Structure 1
Amino acid sequence: MRSKYVNSPMMYAFGMLAMMIPSQAFSTFYSYYYVDTLGLSLALATVARTVFLVWDAVNQPLVGYWSDRTNTKYGRRRPWIFAAIPLFMLTFIMVFSPPKDLSEVGLFTWFLIALVLYEAVATVIWVNYGALFPELFRGDRVRAKASAVQQGWQIVGILIGTAATPILYKAIGFGPMAIVYSFLFAGFMLLCLRNVKEDEEAVKLPQLGLKEAFRETFKNKTFWLVNIANSFAQTVNGLLGATIPFYAKYVLRIPEEQNTYLLAAVFVSVIPLVGVWFWLIKRMDPVKGWRLSLVAYALSVIPLWFGTDLTSGILAGILVGFGLAGFLVTPPIVNGIIIDSDSEKTGSRREGVYTAVSGFITRSSGLISAVAFLIVGIIFGYESGDDPGPDPESTFRYLISVVPLILLAVSVVISLFVRLERKPGHEQRAE
């Protein structure tokens, strides 16, 4: 019975569910908790956040490199994740459980240390979990199916982390909420690892030195084109999520409690739509499928411009869900082909380094989103809810439709320069 589930897409995807529940709760509510609930100044919170981002940029590539060079009888990735599980639980709880009656300096110190420790442990898990994907699933169709299942569970994790968190912390407090999520994380992650078996031959392959490993990665033109294109598209993911509450208020003019319907229209619709994209992708070249997903995503944001009420907003949200589903499913398949090509060239499997650098590139999308929000706000005079300027409706029509369309158009143009070829008897290879 066990062999049926070893390295199955469903069992692997439980790892994504495990990480997304606490990660979504963290990213959505940690600033609110410290600034609005505990009273930490926005300036000090911004300093801590900046240190957090710099630390994230430094530790991801190093963790990927160390993971690639790990050689144990239990594999390269699994030992790292097993060791990190209890540390992740502790650091996640630490973020939401500061001692009472701290001074502002004391609260800032706790906040900063908790962020740095949490990020270090989370990076170990994300990099090693992501590095398993191209190793466990070989071949375009298998990867398409595994990616579709994984992204479906990712959306479930996002919904739980977003919708259930306010209910939990209002009922039992932030600290107990973090404990609940920590044990959920451990349960799903252990279920995933119990059914993951790494490639024994990959562990035995020689590995490049530090400089050579990063030199080979940084000079891979195809890798950079793919991930820069993905970064612009990833910006749209964050921008849409951040803009929907404003879009609901100033454009659709609906009550705040109806925001949930808009968010559900986008995210809940993604779950069945990833199945549609799996059906499409397995019938075409992976790069063409990836490029098609970017085009579909770009077209899907246009109807948001025409939203006028809750009904039209929900319909537009479902169309966005279709574009988003495609973008979630296709990038792992293309990155897997690039890693396969690198393995043929160098004679080593370096999923860790590629996953880490790819993650850093796409995470940088948050800066693009913040700059776009600032520029459009300045153009239309929006400063805050207290001072929305003369035309807040136009501000958020542009932010939710025009700006995403421009960013995705850039992604599509970049994708046109990506070339992958298939050799007889081989998987696709990056040029």
Structure 2
Amino acid sequence: MRAAIVGEERTVSSHAAPTAASDDGPGHASDGTAARTPPWRYAIGMFGTSIPINMVKGSVILYYVDILGLDVRAYGVVMTIYAIIDAIDNPILGYLSDRTRTRFGRRRPWLVVGAPLLAASMIALFSAPAGLDGVALVLWFAVFAILTEAFDSVLNANYGALLPELFPRERQRAVANGLRQGFQLVALVISLAVTPLLTTQVFGTEETTGGFATTAILYAAVACIVIVYMAVGVRENPRYAADRRPALLSGVAAIVRNPLFWKVGLVGACYGVAMALVLSGVQLYVRYSLGLPVADALFLQAVVILVAAGGLAVWTRIVARRGALWTWRVAYAILAVSFAGLFLATGLVPAMLAGALVGIGWSGMLATNDLIVARVLDADASTHGEHREGLFLSAFGFFGRLNGVITGLALTSLGVFFGYNSGDDPGQDPGLAFRMYLCVYPFVLTTIGAVASRLVSVPEPTADQALGGTAAAAVEKTGR
């Protein structure tokens, strides 16, 4: 089996075919299918969901470990505890979303409520009271880090579940995914590249925390506005809500018995964890490995993100010609090779050149990874006759939460091997420590992922999916 060519317009199933042009009401067409949602309106939501969580990923280690002095071992313990909690709550959150039935849709209420909760928890995370240390600092970090990640899970499970529903044809899906990844990269320019400048120079200094709180408030307000604007503008398919409500235990059992869940989840996790290490370590890589001010991370991050943004259109065209699976494998290999250059870089310019190659590989993964996951969701809906994308994506979120565990273990290993325990106790060679963290660990992970991706296949479209929307509807009505 291989990935379907994106150029062939196909639908998820005859139950989701958007065929009508006239509306009976908000979000409804004359035959009961969904009114079309403009791809840009859905895609802009990625801008809102990306800003807060990527500030967390990019700055939380600098804030807590390097400035406030939280021990890396405590950081690792908190991330491990959260992974256990997340393994339990994620499927439940997805299950509740799939079973939600309101006149506003299944996913939109969760998005509208989840946005301010994520914003509030992120602001608290970066507003630790002055003088906190020891157990009190660990507890503050643990509570608000876990809440922030949990509300992020709520948003992303519901937001991600809308992609196959709103855009059942793979050509439409590829366009919408390309647009949303573009919005994500714009958000990354702000939440990663610009953040060090705002936190350490505009609103604060490299040795104080006030700039982080101010920046978090600014980002939280923007994220809430964008997410709510997106949520009220999408039009969910009412036929999905008419399906029987998925059961929790049988649904989870069916997912964990699905070999594609494990194959795609584990291979994707190699990429996700690698990029989580890069995003969380780049500011300390610049400070210790390159010996430059933290604010200079702006230039390295900007190059990576801008190259990735520019590459999205190219990778999307490659997907249309060669298919998502083939393109995914090629992008994985390029990303793996790119980390060698970052390890060898000795100054900002060489690091920026190596970062450009990282951006090329990363761009290819952004253009394809969600398409591979969407194929798995399509196959599950076709096999079981239930639209349980929320539960399935929440289960996939388990692999995503490995990011926190492995990031914590990787950071803890710096204390074991290089003596880096915190900003107060950086050890003899923190520069080599963060070359290991930012370059060697991601290289090993993406190399494993690139090799393993050769062993992954995704289902070809079913007969219903191969039909255009109008044809599928005709077959359903005539029974032929």
Normalized against structure 1, the TM-score is what? 0.85
CA change 1:89–1:419 in 2 (3 A) is: closer
Paired residues of 1:7 and 1:195 also in contact (CA < 8 A): yes
Distance 1:337-1:268 versus aligned 2 partners, 3 A rule: same
1:196 aligns to 2:226 (yes or no):
no
Give the match's secondary structure for 1:358: helix
**Structure 1 residue 173 displacement after superposition:** 5.0
Match of 1:132 in 2: 162
**Farther-moved stretch of structure 1 (142-151 vs 220-229):** 142-151
Q: 1:109-124 alignment to 2 at 5 Å? A: 110-124=140-154
From the superposition, tell whether residues 274 and 205 of structure 1 become closer, same or farther in structure 2 (CA, over 3 Å).
Answer: same
What do residues 52-104 of structure 1 show as CA deviations (whole Å, max 9, x unaligned)?
Answer: 44332321111001111112222110112222233334333333445677796
Query: 1:326 aligns to what?
Result: 364
Name which of 324, 348, 351 aligns with 1:313.
Answer: 351
Q: Distance in 2 between matches of 1:371 and 1:112?
A: 16
Task: Note the 1:117-266 alignment, pairs <5 A.
Answer: 117-162=147-192, 163-164=194-195, 165-166=198-199, 169-170=203-204, 174-245=212-283, 248=286, 257-266=295-304
Choose the corresponding residue for 1:298, options 305, 317, 336: 336
**Offset of 1:244 from its aligned partner?**
4.0
Give 1:132 shift.
1.1
Q: Is the 8 A contact 1:305 1:401 kept in 2?
A: yes
Identify the residue that residue 308 of structure 2 maps to in structure 1: 270
User: Higher helix fraction: Structure 1 or Structure 2?
Assistant: 1
CA distance in 2, matches of 1:229, 1:115: 26
Q: Secondary structure at the match of 2:321?
A: coil
Distance 1:257 1:218, change over 3 A: same
Distance 1:48 1:248 in 2: 26
Contiguous gaps of at least 5 residues in structure 2:
1-25, 28-34, 467-480
Report how far residue 29 of structure 1 moved.
3.6
CA distance in 1, matches of 2:416, 2:87: 29
Shift of 1:284: 1.9
Q: After superposing the two structures, state which structure 1 stretch, 161-170 or 203-212, moved more.
A: 161-170
Name the structure 2 match of 1:388. 428
Find the aligned partners of 1:299 and 1:116 in 2 and give their Cα distance: 33
Distance apart, 1:281 and its partner CA: 0.9
For 2:408 and 2:375, the matched residues in 1 are separated by 32
Q: Deviations over 1:199-243 (max 9, x none)?
A: 110111113321110011101111211110111112221233345
Structure 2 equivalent of residue 419 of structure 1 = 457
Q: 2:445 aligns with which of 390, 403, 407?
A: 407
Distance 2:67 2:45 in 1: 31
User: Hey, what does 2:105 align to over in structure 1?
Assistant: 75
Kept in 1, the 8 Å contact 2:372–2:458? The answer is no
Instruction: Output the CA distance in 2 between the equivalents of 1:10 and 1:112.
Output: 36
Q: Which residue of 2 aligns with 1:22?
A: 52
CA 174–119 in structure 1, closer or farther in 2 if over 3 Å, else same = same
Which residue pairs with 2:12 in the alignment?
A: none
CA shift in 2, pair 1:422/1:387, >3 Å: closer
CA distance in 1, matches of 2:278, 2:84: 25
Question: Which amino acid in the other structure matches residue 203 of structure 1?
Answer: A
Counterparts of 1:44 and 1:156, CA distance in 2 = 33
**Contact conserved, 2:60 with 2:280, CA < 8 A, in 1?**
no
Mapped to 1, the partners of 2:410 and 2:135 lie a distance apart of 32
Structure-2 change in CA distance of 1:214 and 1:151 (3 Å): same
In structure 1, C-alpha distance between the alignment counterparts of 2:284 and 2:59, rounded to whole Å? 18
Superposition RMSD on alpha carbons, in Å? 3.4
Shift of 1:168: 5.9
Match of 1:90 in 2: 120
- The one-letter code of the counterpart of 2:428 is P
- Bigger shift: 76-85 or 213-222? 76-85
Letter of the 2:456 counterpart: V
CA shift for structure 1 position 115: 3.9
- 2:14 corresponds to: none
Question: What TM-score, normalized to structure 2?
Answer: 0.77
Q: Are residues 1:356 and 2:390 paired?
A: no
Q: CA shift at 1:402, angstroms? A: 4.7
In the TM superposition, residue 114 of structure 1 has moved relative to its aligned partner by 3.6
C-alpha separation in 1, matches of 2:123 and 2:298: 27
Contact conserved, 2:72 with 2:415, CA < 8 A, in 1?
no
Please say if residues 60 and 356 of structure 1, whose CA atoms lie closer than 8 Å, have aligned partners that are also in contact: yes
Structure 1 residues 111, 140: closer, same or farther in 2, change over 3 A? same
Residue pair 2:263, 2:456 contacting (<8 A) in 1 also? yes
Task: Report the residue type matching 1:307 in the other structure.
Answer: A
